Structures are given as structure tokens and as C-alpha cells.
Amino acid sequence: MSQMDERIRSYVLFFKALSNSTRIAIIDLLRRGGDKTVSEIARELGFEQSRVSHALRCLTFCGFLTNRREGKNKIYSLNRETIEPLMEIADKHIEAYANHLRRCEVLRR
């Protein structure tokens, strides 16, 4: 990764941010259910709070989420400008190729 064309490097980071189940589950949850606090996300997804915090940190840093504090809570929101059209394309592609994606050996089990 160190010695890689800058454009390619950016693409890799962009897609890598979205290619983890914790992170994409959070995006999917917020896309469907709107803004949520950390503990709401953790509870609704059944994930440990620290796992969620790590994921939120990455997604926020990379520009996919924003947050605002409200008392003891922190509320996370989607950057819908990127996420909405992106997920629509993903949905459409998956509709056509889900079986193939699932059976791809390179992207293991």
C-alpha cells in the first residue's frame, strides 16, 4: 500500500472503508432508520459498544458520517450525498449478481 499511485490508493481506502461488516451494517442501519446514538446502534445490531465506536471513528473520519453531541449521547448521521447514490448502485448490482458474489472464492467464506 505504501508505494501505490495516489489515485489508486484513494480508491482502495474509499472502498475498504465500506467493505467491513460492522461498518456497512451501521451504514445500512442509519440509511433505513435515520440518525442514532452509539448505544442505539450497538443495541440494534447486537454489537459491542467498543466495536461500534471503532467503526464509527473510521466512517466519520473518512467522510461517510457526521456526528453531533446531545447531552451524554453522540448522534451519528449519514453523509447521504455520497451514501445514497452509492448504495443504490450497489443494490442494483447485487440484485443482478448476488449469487455470483456469494460464490466468489477469492472473497472467501
Partner DNA sequence: TTATCATATGACGAATATGTCACAGATGGA
Partner DNA sequence: TCCATCTGTGACATATTCGTCATATGATAA
CA–CA separation, 19 vs 17, rounded Å?
A: 6
β-sheet bridge partners, residue 77 = 66
Choices 33-41, 69-77, 81-89 (CB under 8 A): range interacting with a copy of itself: 81-89
Residue 89 near a copy of itself by CB under 8 A: yes
Name the residue nearer to a copy of itself (CB basis): 43 or 92. Answer: 92
Residue 77 near a copy of itself by CB under 8 A: no
Q: What is the DSSP string of 36-73?
A: EEHHHHHHHHT--HHHHHHHHHHHHHTTSEEEEEETTE
Q: Which does 92 bind (CB under 5 to 8 A by kind): DNA, a copy of itself, none?
A: a copy of itself
Residues of the shown chain interacting with DNA in the complex, contacts defined by CB under 7 A: 1-2, 16, 19-22, 37-39, 42, 47-51, 53-57, 67, 69, 71-74, 106-109
β-sheet bridge partners, residue 67 = 76
CB of 26 to a copy of itself, least distance (A): 10
